Structure 1
Amino acid sequence: MTTVDDCADVRTGDKGDTLILAVRARDEMSYHLLSDALTAEAVAGHYALELTGPVLRRLLPGLHALVFTLPGALGGGVTGSPVLDGHGKALSYHLLSMPLGEEAPRRIR
């Protein structure tokens, strides 16, 4: 099964309690595949977190990139979260493992 890791790189960041995921496809064909498969709903389902708002997706076709924001994903933010990775850096690996097909999503918490 093809995963995000097969055709893109992912970087994460944070703004308060919001996780920001930037997905950069390696080529134009991969960008189109990712644009079709990585909907806001699919990403929300893959992470299966209790969020404080909807996942937002922004397409950046000139850069072959997608940006997702997941509000409330960081359990209180960098200074308020009891989890080890308050910045959410390790959460980029979880998106890389997402299958680009019909496989069921995996919970991370």
Structure 2
Amino acid sequence: MKKIDSIARRILGWKLNRWDRWYDYEKGIFIHESDFQPEQNLDHAMLIVDRLQDLGFAYTIKGLSKVCFNDICATGETLAQAITNAAYSIVELSSVPDTTRMWQKLC
């Protein structure tokens, strides 16, 4: 859950409402963790793609299960899993204190 929670909070901007759901302030709705499964659901993964594109990341598909956001690439068993893994890599890289440009995009 750490991976999905990190993506929901840092990329999508959702706030943790309680241990099993987030709140999307932009849409004014609650999202239960069972309603956001980007590793299994391509539509959910595409929400991440749309948000990252809004933040200036270029999305590129390289094969059936490899994607890149700018120069950050990841693979997975499915396209949805690859998107989720790449997004989580962005979150991990933004956690490093010396990546000010990327952090500015995510905040």
> With structure 1 as the length reference, what TM-score do the two structures score?
0.29
Q: Return the TM-score normalized by structure 2.
A: 0.29
Higher relative contact order (CA 8 A, sep 6+): 1
Judging by fraction of residues, say which structure has more helix: 2
